[in-house]
Amino acid sequence: MMRTHGTPPFTTAVVHGGPGAKGSLYFLAKELSAYTGVLEPIQTQYTPQALTEELKEQLTPFAQTPLVGVGHSWGAWLLLLTARQYPQIFKKLILIGCPPLTPQYATQIEERRLENLPLPLAKRYVQALKTLRQGPPEVQAAALQELGALCERADNVDPLDLGPDPDGLQPDEKAFSHVWPLAQELRQNGELLNVLRQLALPVTLIQGQQDPHPAQGVYEPFAQCAKPLTVHILPACGHNPFAERQAKGTFYTLLRKLILAN
């Protein structure tokens, strides 16, 4: 599935996170469409490699000229994986709220989230995560919904309610439960570092200062692989800059400049 925003040519693609957070970048895409045609691919596959191939197939018909790839959270990883295999599709990459690329920083994410939640909510977070990973299929949808709500509370500073997806897209709990463990293996076994070593595109990182995903977990692996990375840290901002009341204006001004730059 592909949603388009604005008018052709479609030269920017936004890649949602999750895995399985279908439609989560709708409002970001609408905002960007004021000055660039925007592609919003909706992923449907259940392994990182299948998602890479799907994204390539979704974007190739529009990539007469290389696209600006904008990836949020897991979508940042998916962009890196796809750009490694199909660099001709992209002009440059912009990573937003990118998870750590090496294991030593990954443990900080849950610790920071739990610190940001009062104790009763922290206990619910732990239980929802356990249910999503180990529970029967019939309860996973509810667990994913609760986990998403708790992450929203823990991951953001002053969040805005952007409203529901206009097409009724819902998070895909099967995608999360299938894809994320495989994605974590790519981090654990060093494959993400191999991706960086083979990358030949300009990359920019935009990270909220209060994002539980530490920016060091991205810019240090880039430095380790001797790959340049431009970094922007936004104050009063968590994991979703496009939905942060205090940071939204700065974020969109920066993103416009990055997208339109040669």
Tell me the per-residue pLDDT of 155-177, one tens digit each, with 9 for 90 and over. Answer: 888 988 888 888 888 888 888 88
Q: Which amino acid is at 4?
A: T
C-alpha neighbours within 13 Å on the C-beta side of residue 130: 6
pLDDT of residue 165: 87
pLDDT of residue 48: 95
- List residues bridging with 37 in a β-sheet: 10
Give the single-character DSSP code of 159: B
Residue 153 CB: number of other CB atoms within 10 A?
15
pLDDT, one tens digit per residue, over 63-103 is 888 999 999 999 999 999 999 999 999 999 999 999 999 99
Q: Where are the domains of the chain?
A: 2-107+152-260
pLDDT, one tens digit per residue, over 210-260 is 999 999 999 999 999 999 999 999 999 999 999 999 999 999 999 999 999
Mean pLDDT of the 106-135 span = 87
DSSP string covering 220-258, please? HHHHHTT---EEEEESS--S-GGGBTTTHHHHHHHHHHH
Mean pLDDT of the 102-122 span = 88
Q: What is the dihedral of CA 245, 251, 252, 255, to 10 degrees?
A: -160
pLDDT of residue 184: 94
In the chain, what is the straight-line distance between the N-terminal and C-terminal CA atoms, in Å? Answer: 29
Q: Name the architecture of domain 2-107+152-260.
A: 3-Layer(aba) Sandwich (3.40)
pLDDT, one tens digit per residue, over 10-60 is 999 999 998 988 889 999 999 999 999 999 999 999 999 999 999 999 999
Judge contact between 208 and 198, C-beta under 8 A.
no
Whether the pLDDT of residue 9 is over 90: the answer is: yes
Q: What is the dihedral of CA 13, 141, 114, 165, to 10 degrees?
A: 40
Whether the pLDDT of residue 144 is over 80: the answer is: no
Query: How wide is the angle at C-alpha 59 spanned by C-alphas 56 and 62, nearest 5°?
Result: 145
